[in-house]
A and B are shown apart, each in its own frame.
Chain A
Amino acid sequence: MARNVGRAGFRSHALTEVLAFAAWLGAALVVLSDGRRGLALGLGLVAAALAALAFATGHQPGGIALLAGGLVAVGLRLRAGPESWGLMGPGSTPRIILTVVAGLFSLWIAVTVATGDDAALRFAVLAVLGLGGARVLQAREQSASMTAISSLALALGAAAAIVGGEPGPAPYVIAAAIAAAGSAFSPAQRIGT
């Protein structure tokens, strides 16, 4: 029985690590994409991974709210913005380096410096916040800016799960609503390059 419990624990750890990696990958896609499909895929990965991590830390209603908000945001994002994947266009080398450096820095903080459980959640939240903030600074198009804002909202919602105790449904519900509202903007025209 003890062996089964240990195996389940290992599987659970492996799963949360995969989810944290998926959150970073989603945020990296938001940074690296300029088209609506790439942005929606990135946002979808962020939403699913953060919702699942909230679930894994025992915040089920919060996880459901984040997933719902994320799905609405993805649906709305697919309806607006440049109609392509727009992944890693010419000149995106600095952005690729940014995603790797932000991931490594978040990993260092979450795993090496910080102590306690939920390292996967810490990594995912820090990586999405860092990359979302960087994308907001660097974006020249409305769709990219608003997708980054949606991902910031989802990360902030998931950050409530880091607090010891019960944060209540408010942060998750507000975060989900902002994520959806952020994607509701439809760009009138292409701005910048």
Chain B
Amino acid sequence: MLRPRSNLAVIISALLGLGGLAAIVLSTPGLVSDALGISLSLSAPSRAMLIVAAGALALVVVFAPERAERSRLLGWGLAGLAGMTAIAVAPTLDVVILILLALVVLQAAAPAARPLARRVRAPAFAVALLASGLVLTRLGGPPLLERLGAVGLVAGLMAAIGALPYMHEFDAEESTAASPIPWAAFIGPVLAVTVVTRARELLPSASGAFGAMLIGLGLLNMIWGCLASWRTEADASAWRYSFTGDWGLALCGFGLALPEAQGAAVLILSSVLLARLPLYLWSRQALREKVRTDRPLNLLVAAGLAGSAPFLGFGARILLLHSATALYWPLALVIATSLVLWVPSSLRLGRSLGRPSGPQLMGIVLVLAVNVVLGIFPQPLLLLAGQ
């Protein structure tokens, strides 16, 4: 009925989305609700990630890329947001993984260039790994089982977000909804926060091993993501690898298991949602046309993506370095050295935005402004995340 009236569809979907967002904003973190006999509760970090993800969706829909259909973008975005909310409020990790599997099936329905079997391969394998890890943590027996479970959960999380060693197959020409980008940059943040929080409760004696694996894979993704983003041939692939680099930082934050480091992880994931994702979507047209420019705006975008002051990524990096120094200073040294790697890749990505105009230009200016404000005053976001 709404197919020929796309504006009406957008208005109705936007109202429904705003209603859902209001429910999330008004919810009390940690409060258990027994609606329909199922215990639902929302943790503060998950709630913060959901609100930030809703903000990112609003940015992308309001300043929709030229060739994108706004109603389609909003429809897929709201479906993803509904799934993310279900992941965040789910009573157990079983249900979280089942909802993830439902999202895999939902994404399979999106029209795409790649065959379905290749599109579902990585996220469905992630479900198998996460589920195996969960089952192993539940079995009674020697500590070996808990450690094997930790391996399964970490491997599953990596496969779900498309980080090394489970990079998703990427086709630059594919629509964003059917591509691996939503896993890395939209659903991934809420999923990671939820899985890491639940895993710590499930792995009391293997939490050290769990954190060490996250830090190790975080460093690997950080270095590989930045180098690949700088050196890879295609600009679209460079954007994709840049998400991997940011995930490396966030994984280090989760692995360090200090409140400050958790805050850093939340800030980095917020910068992925509020800066890297919309900027990637707005760069797609310029990527197709192979337009590269070195205007001041491009340099500002590069500075934001590199996490320099006063942008959001800067505060996150400072918090991460501070907590790494408190725990084990050589780790801080490695992280600090690898931060330099963001500069060449970010300059390249900034140039790849081309000459934005109209709504895209307004969107980019707004993204930069939001990132500067949150970079100077990150406290409201950290308070929202319970840090």
A116 within 8 A of B: yes
Assess the A122–B102 pair: CB atoms within 8 A.
Answer: no
A28 within 8 A of B: no
- Assuming the contacts A113-B145, A116-B139, A178-B102, asked whether A136 and B94 have C-beta atoms less than 8 A apart, the reply is no
- Name the residue in B101, B134, B141, B144 with the highest tally of chain A Cβ atoms < 10 Å from its Cβ: B101
Minimum CB–CB distance from B125 to chain A (whole Å) comes to 5
Minimum CB–CB distance from A69 to chain B (whole Å) comes to 12
- Assuming the contacts A136-B121, A185-B108, asked whether A126 and B98 have C-beta atoms less than 8 A apart, the reply is no
Minimum CB–CB distance from B19 to chain A (whole Å) comes to 23
User: Which label, helix, strand, loop or mixed, suits the secondary structure of the A interface?
Assistant: helix
CB contacts (< 8 Å) of B42 on chain A: these are none
Assess the B124–A116 pair: CB atoms within 8 A.
Answer: no
B92 within 8 A of A: yes
A140 within 8 A of B: yes
Which of B95, B117, B145 has a CB less than 8 Å from the CB of A142?
Answer: B117
Assess the A182–B105 pair: CB atoms within 8 A.
Answer: yes
Q: Mark B145-156, 1 if CB is under 8 A from A, else 0.
A: 100100000000
Which of B94, B105, B138 has a CB less than 8 Å from the CB of A156?
Answer: B94
Compute how far the CA of A67 lies from the CA of B327 in the bound complex, rounded to whole angstroms: 51
Assess the B98–A157 pair: CB atoms within 8 A.
Answer: yes
Assess the B117–A156 pair: CB atoms within 8 A.
Answer: no
Which of A115, A129, A157 has a CB less than 8 Å from the CB of B135?
Answer: A129
A48-105 with Cβ < 8 A to chain B: none
Q: Mark A101-140, 1 if CB is under 8 A from B, else 0.
A: 0000000011001111000001001100110110011011
A20 within 8 A of B: no
Compute how far the CA of A125 lies from the CA of B144 in the bound complex, rounded to whole angstroms: 19
A181 within 8 A of B: yes
CB contacts (< 8 Å) of B324 on chain A: these are none
- Assuming the contacts A114-B145, A133-B132, asked whether A163 and B101 have C-beta atoms less than 8 A apart, the reply is no
Q: Mark B70-109, 1 if CB is under 8 A from A, else 0.
A: 0000000000000000000001101101110110110011
Which of A113, A122, A144, A171 has a CB less than 8 Å from the CB of B95?
Answer: A171
B56 within 8 A of A: no
Closest to B129 in A: A133
CB contacts (< 8 Å) of A130 on chain B: these are 128, 132
Assess the B141–A113 pair: CB atoms within 8 A.
Answer: yes
Interface size on A, residues (CB 8 A): 48
Assess the A149–B101 pair: CB atoms within 8 A.
Answer: yes
Compute how far the CA of A126 lies from the CA of B141 in the bound complex, rounded to whole angstroms: 15
Compute how far the CA of A115 lies from the CA of B141 in the bound complex, rounded to whole angstroms: 5
Compute how far the CA of A167 lies from the CA of B90 in the bound complex, rounded to whole angstroms: 12
Q: Mark A151-193, 1 if CB is under 8 A from B, else 0.
A: 0110111011011000111110011011001100101000110
B38 within 8 A of A: yes
Assess the B135–A171 pair: CB atoms within 8 A.
Answer: no
- Name the residue in B98, B108, B121, B129 with the highest tally of chain A Cβ atoms < 10 Å from its Cβ: B98
A145 within 8 A of B: yes
B316 within 8 A of A: no
Minimum CB–CB distance from A127 to chain B (whole Å) comes to 11
Minimum CB–CB distance from B331 to chain A (whole Å) comes to 32
A32 within 8 A of B: no
Assess the B131–A159 pair: CB atoms within 8 A.
Answer: yes
Compute how far the CA of A37 lies from the CA of B143 in the bound complex, rounded to whole angstroms: 42
Assess the A178–B105 pair: CB atoms within 8 A.
Answer: yes
Binding site for B on A (CB under 8 A): 109-110, 113-116, 122, 125-126, 129-130, 132-133, 136-137, 139-142, 144-146, 148-149, 152-153, 155-157, 159-160, 162-163, 167-171, 174-175, 177-178, 181-182, 185, 187, 191-192
Return 20 A-B CB contacts under 8 Å, by A number. A109-B148, A122-B139, A125-B135, A129-B131, A133-B128, A137-B121, A139-B121, A145-B117, A148-B124, A149-B104, A152-B101, A152-B127, A152-B131, A163-B92, A163-B94, A168-B37, A170-B91, A170-B95, A174-B99, A181-B105
CB-based closest 9 A-B pairs: A133-B128, A114-B139, A136-B124, A145-B117, A191-B115, A116-B140, A114-B141, A142-B116, A174-B98
Q: 8 extra interchain contacts, Cβ-Cβ under 8 A, other than A113-B142, A126-B132, A162-B139? A: A113-B139, A149-B101, A156-B131, A167-B94, A168-B37, A170-B95, A181-B105, A192-B117
